[in-house]
Structure 1
Amino acid sequence: MKALRAPLLSLAFLLAGCQSVLMSPSGDLAVQQRNLILTSTVLMLLIIVPVIVLTLWFAWHFRASNPKAHYDPEWDHSTILELLIWSAPLLIIIALGAITWVSTHKLDPYRPLDRLAAGRPLPTDARPLVVDVVALDWKWLFIYPEQGMAAVNEVAAPVDRPIQFKITASTVMNSFFVPALAGQIYAMPNMETTLQAVVNRPGEYQGFSANYSGNGFSGMHFTFHGMSEEDFARWVAQAKANGGDLSRDAYVKLAQPSENVPPAFYATVAPGLYQAILTHCVQPDDPSCLSRMQAPLPGGEAGMPSHPNSSD
């Protein structure tokens, strides 16, 4: 026992720092996803546990030293046993299929929320807080179009107010993930994904990229603040008071690869910056700008302009 004490104490010490945030989230969408995990696990255990128990019981009961065990080498079929073997898993599969179909539509990240929490429907006059999210190398840019400000590696939202994240990336694919809030969703260049969410408890929650994107990936973390409406207004005012100007030139400098970037704020944002980032048109002469690619050709048709070195 003394030999096992040190390894057990070490294991307990390591596990003491673990946080089961996925099992105790603070956002209704994450709570529903947690409940889906628990329901699916219980349904599968209805098959797994009896199979394990019966396997051990059969091995013990039909051991060679048990004279009471009935041995019938001619036995090959039992209708009751066949019904149990096939009907129970079939019922579980049907139940899991129905739950998957319903939850796929109900928890669609693009679907507007219809409730703030269990038993609390969404008020008819509720307006979502829109946050434009840009995954950079290797940091996160959050633009608040309604508030006219932006933040790097820090984001906040009022408690019990729907949030609409519009997500894209500057160069490579990333994955936007706040475990306490909702499931992960990918951020891809020249594409926009959407995540509807709500936070139900005030606090500070960790967010990060869940998709490897290069050297600085391990430091691509941010803090999500859930706060009251009054605290959120103060957070916005403080960000505007201490922030600079996010012009297009400032964005180009910000988008350069950098690692472990501390939080920063911008009091103003250039008009149409997020849409320009989405279409790669921050710099008008960028050859990857979608507006240029779709510009009318001399013949009047839309298409990509010819490469200057092409023979066409």
Structure 2
Amino acid sequence: MKLKKVFALFGAIIFPLLSGCETNMVVFEPQGPAARSITQLINWSLLWMLLVVVVVFALFTYIVWKYREKPDNMDYEPPEEHGSTVLEIVWTAIPILIVIALTIPTVKTLYDLEKPPKGYEDQEPLVIHVTSADWKWIFSYPEEGIETVNYVNIPEDRPILFKLTSAGTMQSFWIPALAGQKYTMNRMETELYVVADHPGSYLGRNTNFNGRGYAHMEFEVLAQTPQEFEKWVREVKETAPKLTKEKYEEILLPTHLGRLTFSNTHLDWVNHADANSKTYTNPEAYKTHGYKGKIFEEEDNYKNDAYTPKSNHGHHEHEDVNENESHGGGHHGH
């Protein structure tokens, strides 16, 4: 308990200095087993860093004081020395031992995070597909047959398996109170296990810079009781509209959106994690950045209805997009 207080005090003093005006250290208030493992690893690293800093400054102070210039050593000339084998072994071995002490728990934690948390191995995880786009997050529940934008509801105390991909540029998926971050990449899939200990609202965001709208690319994770979650699923199925291909293509344009909810998923016609999926990027929609750049014709773009794997002719239909346009949507988050 005392050690935890020391870490809390150390973090309260040091981290505000390292993070500008930001003082909300969510990573030190974990709300799930994955986040706790990461916090313990951070604390272990802080302990070693604190030890190194204290020892280095103590030796610096001692050497400066002991070998300072004094009246009785003004004309002192130190003898020529060829070094100390013992000292060189010591100051070489100590950093190696520190690196080992940091590497072993880091590797162990990274491998543990790739599996369901301990105590949840026998539970069936809820699978949620996460698709990032500029500049919003799309969550698909294939088993429930529903889809949300910019918020995701999960049941408490149950493992959640997020399957991460991107419809375009690379993003970084991070829920600091519940888990670490993982990248989302087009035509690839990464996985992240998350468990929320109890009901609550947690902030998630993109931590990988991807253009003008990056700063506001956030989402809410709402952990609910199993009963509340099942009730929410039923309400969505009964009241939410159907997602069409045209609406989905509109969602993927580089804009900010409000919350949206649908009673089906885009996985019915496209999975961006599939290596053979069509390209859904819209380079002409980024013209408001000033430098227009070059628009590369892509044969497999979703706008090219005539595309086949052997086709050599691509086609783009250009359209002007207001990057600042905001689209609202239904709110089924609470």
Normalised TM-score (structure 2)? 0.72
State which of 167, 173, 176 in structure 1 corresponds to 2:170.
173
Moved more, 83-92 or 201-210: 83-92
Q: Once the 2 structures are TM-superposed, how far is the Cα of residue 55 of structure 1 from its aligned partner?
A: 0.5
1:185 alignment partner, one of 168, 172, 182 = 182
Distance 1:238 1:66 in 2: 86
1:86 to 81, 92, 105: 92
Aligned to 1:131: 128
C-alpha distance in structure 2 between counterparts of 1:282 and 1:80, whole Å: 62
Q: Secondary structure at the match of 1:58?
A: helix
CA deviations on 1:249-294 (whole Å, 9 max, x unpaired) are: 32122222222x11111122366345267443499xx94279x9x9
CA deviation digits over 1:124-146, x for unaligned, max 9?
2x110100111122111101111
Which whole-Å CA distance do the structure 1 matches of 2:203 and 2:253 have between them?
A: 24
Residue by residue over 1:2-51, the C-alpha shift from the partner in whole angstroms, topping out at 9 and shown as x without a partner, is: xxxxxxxxx99x98862100111212112111211221222233333211
Aligned equivalents of 2:136, 2:107: Cα separation in 1: 35
Structure-1 residue corresponding to 2:318: none
- What SS does the corresponding residue of 1:244 show, helix, strand or coil? coil
Aligned with 1:133: secondary structure?
A: strand
Question: How far off is 1:83 after superposition?
Answer: 4.1
Question: Equivalent residue for 1:288?
Answer: 300
Gaps of 5+ in 1: 1-10, 116-120, 296-303
In the TM superposition, what whole-angstrom CA distance separates every residue of 1:192-219 from its partner, at most 9, and x where no partner exists? Answer: 1211121113211111111122222222
Displacement of 1:308 after TM fit?
3.6
Q: Is the 8 A contact 1:240 1:265 kept in 2?
A: no
C-alpha displacement of 1:114:
4.1
Is residue 2:108 matched to residue 1:122? no
In structure 2, C-alpha distance between the alignment counterparts of 1:153 and 1:97, rounded to whole Å: 36
- The DSSP-based 3-state class of the residue aligned with 2:63 is helix
In structure 2, the partner of 1:62 is 67
The one of 25, 31, 45 aligned to 2:30: 25
Match of 1:182, SS state, is coil
Q: CA deviation at 1:307?
A: 0.8
CA distance 1:274–1:155, change in 2 (3 Å): farther
Describe the SS at the equivalent of 2:152.
strand
The percentage of counterpart residues that share the same residue type is 31
**1:209–1:217 Cα contact (<8 Å) kept:** yes
C-alpha distance in structure 2 between counterparts of 1:197 and 1:276, whole Å: 22
The aligned residue for residue 39 of structure 1 is 44
Instruction: State which drifts further: 178-187 or 212-221.
Output: 212-221
- Deviation string 1:34-74 (CA, Å, 9 cap, x unpaired) is 21122122223333321111101111222223869xx7822
The one-letter code matched in structure 2 to 1:122 is Y
**Closer/same/farther in 2, CA of residues 72 and 156 from structure 1, 3 Å limit:** farther
Contact 1:205–1:224 at 8 Å: present in 2 too? yes
Check 1:267–1:42 CA distance in 2 against 1; reply closer, same or farther (3 A cut): same
Q: How much does 1:105 deviate?
A: 2.2
Structure 1 residues 84-93 or 174-183, which shifts more? 84-93
Mapped partners of 2:169, 2:21: distance in 1: 35
Pick one of 242, 246, 249 that aligns with 2:246: 249
C-alpha separation between the residues in 2 aligned to 1:161 and 1:103? 20
Are residues 1:150 and 2:147 paired? yes
Q: RMSD of the TM alignment (CA)?
A: 3.3
Distance 2:44 2:267 in 1: 46
Note the alpha carbon deviations across 1:64-110, whole angstroms, 9 max, x for none.
23869xx7822734455334323322221222232333233223xxx
Q: What CA distance in whole angstroms lies between the structure 1 residues aligned with 2:102 and 2:77?
A: 37
Cα distance in 2, alignment partners of residues 98 and 148 from structure 1? 42
Partner residue in 1 for 2:109: 103
Match of 1:4 in 2: none
TM-score (normalizing by structure 1): 0.77
In 2, are the aligned partners of 1:244 and 1:267 still within 8 Å (CA)? yes
Mapped partners of 1:66, 1:84: distance in 2: 33
Match of 2:291 in 1: none
Amino acid at match of 1:84: V
Determine whether 1:112 maps to 2:115. Answer: yes
Q: Secondary structure at the match of 2:26?
A: coil
d(CA) in 2 for partners of 1:156, 1:130: 12
Structure 2: 5+ residue stretches without partners = 1-15, 281-297, 315-334
